[in-house]
Chain A
Amino acid sequence: GENVEQHPSTLSVQEGDSAVIKCTYSDSASNYFPWYKQELGKGPQLIIDIRSNVGEKKDQRIAVTLNKTAKHFSLHITETQPEDSAVYFCAAWDAGGTSYGKLTFGQGTILTVHP
C-alpha cells in the first residue's frame, strides 16, 4: 500500500514569510494529491489539490508542485498570515489494487505564524 511521509512536523514562521511543507509517496501509481488544513476541533478542509497530469497548481497565496519522477510534492504558502496557523496534511490516492482505493495521509505539519 501507499506510504506518505511529511516534513517538517512543526514549522514556525513570521507573518509575511513563506512556508513550505514537503511530502513523499511510495506508490508510483498514485495520481491524486490533495492538501488539507485542519484547525483545532474541526474537520480537515481541502485547500488545494493536484492531479498527476500537471506539475504545478496555484491558487492565490497557495501553490502545490508535483515531481512524479522523484515521487514528491510540496505545498507553498506565501505572505503567511496568523490565520494560516493550523495543522496541514498532505495525502495521496492509493488505488491499492482494489476497485477504487483510498486516501493515505501524511503525518501532518503544525504551522504557526507569528504576528
Chain B
Amino acid sequence: AAGVIQSPRHLIKEKRETATLKCYPIPRHDTVYWYQQGPGQDPQFLISFYEKMQSDKGSIPDRFSAQQFSDYHSELNMSSLELGDSALYFCASSLGPEGTDTQYFGPGTRLTVL
C-alpha cells in the first residue's frame, strides 16, 4: 500500500539559511500534520492542514511556515535556521481531520543545521 512520502530524507544547512521540506500524503488523504522530533524526544506537533486550510497550530516557530497545495501535498518552509532546529521532521496524513482519523507517518526528514 502507498505510504506517506517525504523529501528530502536528509538535509544539511548552515545557520541562517532556509530549508523546504516536502510531504506527499497517502492518496485520497486530505489532512496533513507536521511534527518535530528531537533526539530522544517524543514527536511535537507543529501544524496541520485540512482541505488546504490550516486546521490547527502547535509549537511552530514564527520562522516556520507551511501550506497545503491543491494536490494535497504540503511544504514546510523554515527560515533563519538555528542550531536548535536540528531534528527529525515527520509528516503524517489522515483521511479526515477528526481526532479519530488515524494518522500515518512518513519516514521523516533529518535536518542538520551546522
Contact = CB atoms under 8 A, between A and B. Distances in A.
A100 B108 contact: no
Interface residues of B, number: 25
A69 interface: no
Contact of A100 (B50, B90, B105): B50
B100 A51 contact: yes
A79 B48 CA distance: 37
A43 B42 contact: no
B43 A32 contact: no
A98 B50 CA distance: 13
A105 B107 contact: no
A102 interface: yes
Interface residues of A, number: 28
Given A43-B106, A44-B105, A45-B105, 12 more contacts: A42-B108, A43-B105, A43-B108, A46-B102, A46-B103, A89-B42, A99-B55, A101-B56, A102-B33, A105-B44, A106-B42, A107-B41
B99 interface: yes
A71 B104 CA distance: 25
A102 B45 contact: yes
B97 to A, nearest CB: 4
